[in-house]
Amino acid sequence: MQAVQFSEHGGRDVIEYGDFADPSPGRGEVLIDVKAGALNHLDIWTRKGLPGIDLEMPHIPGSDAAGVVTEVGEGVSRFSEGDHAAVSAGVSCGECEFCRDGEESLCVSFHIIGEHVRGVHAEQAVVPADNLVPVPDHVDWEVAGSASLVFQTAWRMLLSQGDLRPGESVLVLGASGGVGHAAVQIADYAGAEVYATASTEEKLQHAEECGADHVIDYEANDFAEEITEMTGKRGVDMVVDHVGAATYPDSLKSLAKGGRIVTCGATTGPNPDAGLNRIFWNQLSVIGSTMATPGEVDDVLELVWDGTFEPRIREVLPMSEAARAHEMIENREGFGKVVVRPDSEL
Q: Are 19 and 58 in contact (CB under 8 A)?
A: no
What is the C-alpha separation between 185 and 288, in angstroms, rounded?
20
**What is the architecture of the domain spanning 151-288?**
3-Layer(aba) Sandwich (3.40)
Q: Which residues of the chain form CATH 3.90.180.10?
A: 2-147+311-345
When pLDDT is averaged across residues 212-235 and rounded to a whole number, the result is: 97
Cis peptide bond N-terminal to 58, omega within 30: yes
Q: How many CA atoms lie less than 13 Å away from 275 in the CB half-sphere?
A: 20
Instruction: Assess whether pLDDT exceeds 90 at residue 77.
Output: yes
Instruction: Assess whether pLDDT exceeds 60 at residue 102.
Output: no
Task: Look at residue 266 in the predicted model and tell me its pLDDT.
Answer: 85
Task: Look at residue 270 in the predicted model and tell me its pLDDT.
Answer: 86
pLDDT tens digits along 317-338: 999 999 999 999 999 898 999 9
Amino acid letter at 109?
Answer: S
Instruction: Assess whether pLDDT exceeds 80 at residue 100.
Output: no
When pLDDT is averaged across residues 309-320 and rounded to a whole number, the result is: 97
Percent of the chain with pLDDT over 90: 87
**What is the architecture of the domain spanning 2-147+311-345?**
Alpha-Beta Complex (3.90)
Average pLDDT, the chain: 94
Q: Which residues of the chain form CATH 3.40.50.720?
A: 151-288
Task: Look at residue 346 in the predicted model and tell me its pLDDT.
Answer: 84
Q: Can you spell out the DSSP letters for 214-274?
A: EEEETTTS-HHHHHHHHTTT--EEEEE--S-TTTHHHHHHTEEEEEEEEES--TT-S----
Task: Look at residue 52 in the predicted model and tell me its pLDDT.
Answer: 86
Distance of CA 56 to CAs 6, 81, 203, Å? 10, 29, 38
When pLDDT is averaged across residues 184-196 and rounded to a whole number, the result is: 98
| Maximum separation of any 2 CA atoms in the chain, in Å | 61
Instruction: Assess whether pLDDT exceeds 70 at residue 108.
Output: no
Query: pTM value?
Result: 0.94
Percent of the chain with pLDDT over 70: 97
